[in-house]
Chains A and B, each alone.
Chain A
Amino acid sequence: MKDFIIPQFPPGDDRDLGTPARSGAPVSLRVDGFDVTVPEGTSVMRAAALAGIMVPKLCASDNLEAFGSCRLCVVEIEGRRGTPASCTTPVAEGMIVHTQSSKVKRIRRGVMELYISDHPLDCLTCAANGDCELQDAAGQVGLRDVRYTPGDNHFDPSGTGARSQSEARLRMPVDQANPRYTPKDESNPYFTFDPSKCIVCSRCVRACEEVQGTFALTIEGRGFDSKVSAGTPLDDFLSSECVSCGACVQACPTATLQEKSVIEMGTPERSVITTCAYCGVGCSFKAELNGDQLVRMVPYKHGKANRGHSCVKGRFAYGYAQHKDRILKPMIRDTIEEPWREVEWDEALAFAAGRMKGLQQKYGRRSTGVITSSRCTNEETYLVQKLARAVFGNNNTDTCARVCHSPTGYGLGKTFGTSAGTQDFDSVEKSDVVVIIGANPTDGHPVFASRLKKRLRQGAKLIVLDPRRTDIVRSAHVEAAYHLPLRPGTNVAVVTAMAHVIVTEGLVNEAFIRERCDWDEFQYYVDFVRQDRHSPENMQALTGVPAEDLRGAARLYATGGNGAIYYGLGVTEHSQGSTTVMGIANLAMLTGNVGREGVGVNPLRGQNNVQGSCDMGSFPHELPGYRHVKLPDVREIFEKAWGVEIDPEPGLRIPNMLDAAVEGTFKGLYCQGEDILQSDPDTHHVAAGLKAMECVIVHDLFLNETANYAHVFLPGSSFLEKEGTFTNAERRINRVRKVMAPLNGYEDWEVTQLLANAMGANWHYTHASQIMDEIAATTPSFANVSFDLLDEKGSVQWPCNEDAPEGTPTMHVDHFVSGKGHFIVTEYLATDEKSGPRFPLLLTTGRILSHYNVGAQTRRTANVVWHPEDVLEIHPHDAEVRGVNEGDWVRLASRSGETTLKATLTDRVAPGVVYTTFHHPATQANVVTTDFSDWATNCPEYKVTAVQVSPSNGPSDWQESYNEQAERSRRILPAAE
């Protein structure tokens, strides 16, 4: 069984070993006199590399299957004829290999000479100079001359026999041109494709297929005419199927596929390993720099979440960190009608502290609160909730997880006993059936999607529950066995019907349940789920899912081998979000799909540190480690550590804070790294709440939409400018390292500390690691975590403590964390948000590959070329009856509000359902969403809103007045001299 995407190495070893790792019985061989033992199936090339001997190569890379096309890696093997390619030759017991015989040396020089005969000699002015495998290989084989006279070639635009492109430019006036020469394709905003430097090794094509799974590249033609082509001749890179993940750029051994940033800035001279700050996959990257200038982000091959892969956001969309819109100076103002005034840090902090203290004196201790950010580090989040609990003296702390995965915390906590996913991402390599519910991994979690697609191409089966036909349902070489296009809001009905099939058809794993779960609860649950009203046939009219498909899907999940469930916000952001999460856990327990590799229940977390922000006690009722604030023994731990008394009364959730603000009892908010005005539902209500507060402190990179209502703006630092940790969707605690100094002067945790001290606290952390030490000392599941351990291991998955000193990749292995697994009855209750004559369509929302949430970051990068505005997806039938054509402006109205945007006609959505994204403030999709929310956790019901769509002429009055207000609110007075 081959290693998945990137093999295991000795730690810190970045060498490309040429071919992927294999696992098999040990085989011993001798390479150039050195003995080496490797697993059966390993290539001679890799065995040599492991023995410390690098065989020259061009077409091989250890994240791709061997291809054997460049013929540079030939070796001699005693007792065998000829000179086999070491990349495609597997090792055999007792083999004796010579990598440097005079024969192979001669062959290699000859091969290299041929390559260089069709390659321009522009090394010194080439963007890959010093970072070029062709150059390295020419050096390794000792190429000293190219004896071929200039002839037919692909690199000389002049067609005059120039050996380099610089020479060709001098000769250019000659009225002659080379029809084989193809100019650079610069259509992609982040990298260029220069076919004149291509050696047609196919690494890019194979990376696109094997690593990314998009198949956007091909070799066009054959023989000397062969060239790499993105899509068809009618395409360029931008219009092709390319998703700009960068795998081809990384695979390219020459400057053919090259980052524009490297062309502009030169090759980087130093690198720092850190963690991406976009989605919950938490990819490890090497940030490569010249001085303090970030040249490029390269996925780190030893990253355990991404195994050397990346997506367009993490790989390329980091330009926001140095965007001119970033605010680097603190600002204050008395009222939100005034323009901002730039001030020094001391003044801003004194102003903020004074106001907050004043409000607490006037309106009471509980009149202020904080919102922690799932975009910030664990250490920063911990300090912000500590600010509320230890300095404000209340539990008014909440986080953006409220609006995404709070039902996950609740649902998995109740059933499995832990508020987190059960697996690591590697687990998908062992899955036989994968169920995706309400998630769009190719857009939202692209690197995980690539790993999943690889497994699907190996034969695993896929079941997708989604109202929309997402790309994972059907795209090149991937096709779901079942797509259940359920009506938005009927998740619980569908999940319960699946359980009904499993129970009534005798597919239950009784042995697992008897051993692992509470038997009485199970029987109670079975009595419930067995009822005929839950049968797929009876549910069909409600859910819109054909009964036969639902039965097929349930049978496949129950009987298809290792069954793994991955789900996203399409599960949680509903009035019954928590119920669906419990229903999913029930399915996993019914079929025994918990507690080993390849199975489990896995929330795909939206944000880089949403797991961490939940772990760190961001919720108003929980101290770090999900321990209720009402428990005296828990409070005691923190009271001792912090030297304060902790309020035993749970605080306010975000929606409660806003309600209380409108009522006049909640007056001051410190909001770190979150744009609640754009991201939270029912924008009108959020705006009213913020407007009613007397001190809103926004701590962010940009003047976001929430800042329009703020009195204090504290500049934030980007993920490149701080030390800390993020915890990804697999509970993996990854190090974030300071790549450059904070442009605003302080890391975010330092700013929180300054604010706390301005309010009278006496905190004196000097490094983020000290905050992690405090977390470890107070939180049992983090007991063993320290920056030293993380630096040594790369990353660890919590729980990481005495029982699991190096962390826990798979949870619930022998028993559930809580002892027994709990089956919970999942009664379907329709949401109050119903379509009717006024609002006959159901709106569901989501996100797209090139953008990230409210877009504050990605809108400030070249990613806008892919998605310059939000559009409304509508089925052609629904569009036709409304007289809506492709690209028309439409008015999208719900009982909450209305907005306008452009429509696109597609059958990805079923008739009766419309879909849009919420990346652009100009659209403000959340003006339309309602204040309905999950019954257990208040997670908003973003995924179901009854709407009407009608033709429109352009932006609504509200959009125009909003823009006016936003513009007025963003005025900044120059600092006083």
Chain B
Amino acid sequence: MTFSSPAPTDEDIRAIVAPMTSLEGPLLPMLHALQDEYGVIPDIAVPVLADVLNLSRAEVHGVISFYHDFRKSPAGKHILKICRAEACQSMGGEALAESTLARLGIDWHDTTQNGAVTVEPVYCLGMCACAPAAMLDDRVIARLDRARMDKLLDEAGA
């Protein structure tokens, strides 16, 4: 993930999505590939994807905006997703989330000042039996408490 590179061009976007054009349901894989490359979905990708897939700009925008995971602004180095669904709530998830945000001094969707961690809410990670749960980047962590969360945040450099 590079954030200081120049804004992608029409051709850059086309080059990234070209290998996926023959997939069935290609839009989501394309969006993931773009986000992997740029950390965000660049605005310019909307008309390009519309052209490549013969969709309208509105449709592409509708899909991107439906999924909160597709970002408009870049995230921090790590993304911490804290579960806010019922099972986690019942096991103290809310309090854990509040204390985590308080420690980092940020609100949901925000990134710490040093750019290390972005905190996002998530609704169920499928770990209800071991609640409360969270996910740091691609790693799911369950049976969380404040101490374990602090360890995680330290690890992430927050």
Q: Report which A residues bind B (CB closer than 8 A).
A: 214-222, 229-235, 240-241, 474-479
Inter-chain pairs besides A218-B62, A221-B66, A231-B56, 10 sampled, C-beta below 8 Å? A215-B58, A215-B59, A220-B61, A229-B65, A232-B57, A232-B58, A234-B43, A240-B58, A241-B56, A476-B59
Give the distance to chain A from B22, nearest Cβ to Cβ, in Å.
15
* A235 and chain B: residue at smallest CB distance: B57
Q: Which of B54, B57, B60, B66 contacts A240 (CB 8 A)?
A: B57
A221-B66, A231-B61, A232-B43 known; A215-B55 Cβ under 8 A: yes
CB-defined contacts of B55 to chain A, threshold 8 Å: 215, 476-477
Q: Which of B43, B54, B59 contacts A218 (CB 8 A)?
A: B59
CB-defined contacts of B66 to chain A, threshold 8 Å: 221-222
A221-B66, A222-B66 known; A233-B57 Cβ under 8 A: no
Q: Determine whether the beta carbon of A233 is less than 8 Å from that of B56.
A: no
A232-B43, A232-B46 known; A241-B62 Cβ under 8 A: no
Give the distance to chain A from B67, nearest Cβ to Cβ, in Å.
8
Give the distance to chain B from A220, nearest Cβ to Cβ, in Å.
5
7 CB < 8 A contacts A-B:
A214-B56, A215-B56, A218-B58, A232-B60, A233-B61, A475-B54, A476-B55
Q: Determine whether the beta carbon of B54 is less than 8 Å from that of A241.
A: no
CB-defined contacts of A230 to chain B, threshold 8 Å: 58
CB-defined contacts of A217 to chain B, threshold 8 Å: 58
- Inter-chain CA distance A221–B61, complex, in Å, is 9
Q: Report which B residues bind A (CB closer than 8 A).
A: 43, 46, 50, 54-62, 65-66
Q: Determine whether the beta carbon of B57 is less than 8 Å from that of A231.
A: yes
- Inter-chain CA distance A222–B65, complex, in Å, is 8
Q: Which of A222, A231, A477, A478 contacts B58 (CB 8 A)?
A: A231
Main DSSP-derived SS at the B contact region: helix
Most chain B CB within a 10 A radius of its CB, from A215, A232, A234: A232
CB-defined contacts of A220 to chain B, threshold 8 Å: 61-62, 65
Q: Determine whether the beta carbon of A474 is less than 8 Å from that of B58.
A: no
Give the distance to chain B from A215, nearest Cβ to Cβ, in Å.
4
Most chain A CB within a 10 A radius of its CB, from B46, B50, B57: B57
CB-defined contacts of A235 to chain B, threshold 8 Å: 57
Q: Determine whether the beta carbon of B43 is less than 8 Å from that of A241.
A: no
Q: Which of A229, A232, A233, A477 contacts B54 (CB 8 A)?
A: A477
Q: Which of B43, B56, B61 contacts A476 (CB 8 A)?
A: B56
- Inter-chain CA distance A232–B61, complex, in Å, is 6
Q: Determine whether the beta carbon of A476 is less than 8 Å from that of B62.
A: no
CB-defined contacts of A222 to chain B, threshold 8 Å: 65-66
CB-defined contacts of A232 to chain B, threshold 8 Å: 43, 46, 57-58, 60-61
Q: Determine whether the beta carbon of A216 is less than 8 Å from that of B43.
A: no
CB-defined contacts of B58 to chain A, threshold 8 Å: 215-218, 229-232, 240-241
Q: Determine whether the beta carbon of B54 is less than 8 Å from that of A479.
A: yes
Q: Determine whether the beta carbon of B54 is less than 8 Å from that of A476.
A: yes
CB-defined contacts of A214 to chain B, threshold 8 Å: 56
- Inter-chain CA distance A222–B69, complex, in Å, is 13
Give the distance to chain A from B103, nearest Cβ to Cβ, in Å.
27
- Inter-chain CA distance A869–B158, complex, in Å, is 58
Q: Determine whether the beta carbon of A474 is less than 8 Å from that of B54.
A: yes
Q: Determine whether the beta carbon of B43 is less than 8 Å from that of A221.
A: no
* A208 and chain B: residue at smallest CB distance: B58
CB-defined contacts of B59 to chain A, threshold 8 Å: 215, 218, 476
Q: Determine whether the beta carbon of B50 is less than 8 Å from that of A476.
A: yes
CB-defined contacts of A474 to chain B, threshold 8 Å: 54
- Inter-chain CA distance A475–B51, complex, in Å, is 8
CB-defined contacts of A477 to chain B, threshold 8 Å: 54-55
* B47 and chain A: residue at smallest CB distance: A232
- Inter-chain CA distance A218–B66, complex, in Å, is 10
A234-B43, A476-B50 known; A229-B56 Cβ under 8 A: no
- Inter-chain CA distance A230–B56, complex, in Å, is 10
Most chain A CB within a 10 A radius of its CB, from B58, B59, B60, B61: B58
Give the distance to chain A from B88, nearest Cβ to Cβ, in Å.
19
* B50 and chain A: residue at smallest CB distance: A476
CB-defined contacts of B46 to chain A, threshold 8 Å: 232
CB-defined contacts of B56 to chain A, threshold 8 Å: 214-216, 218, 231, 241, 476
CB-defined contacts of A219 to chain B, threshold 8 Å: 62
Q: Determine whether the beta carbon of A241 is less than 8 Å from that of B57.
A: yes
- Inter-chain CA distance A743–B58, complex, in Å, is 43
Q: Determine whether the beta carbon of B50 is less than 8 Å from that of A218.
A: no
- Inter-chain CA distance A234–B44, complex, in Å, is 11
- Inter-chain CA distance A927–B132, complex, in Å, is 78
- Inter-chain CA distance A217–B62, complex, in Å, is 9
CB-defined contacts of B62 to chain A, threshold 8 Å: 218-220, 229
* B62 and chain A: residue at smallest CB distance: A218
- Inter-chain CA distance A477–B43, complex, in Å, is 22
Most chain B CB within a 10 A radius of its CB, from A221, A230, A231, A479: A231
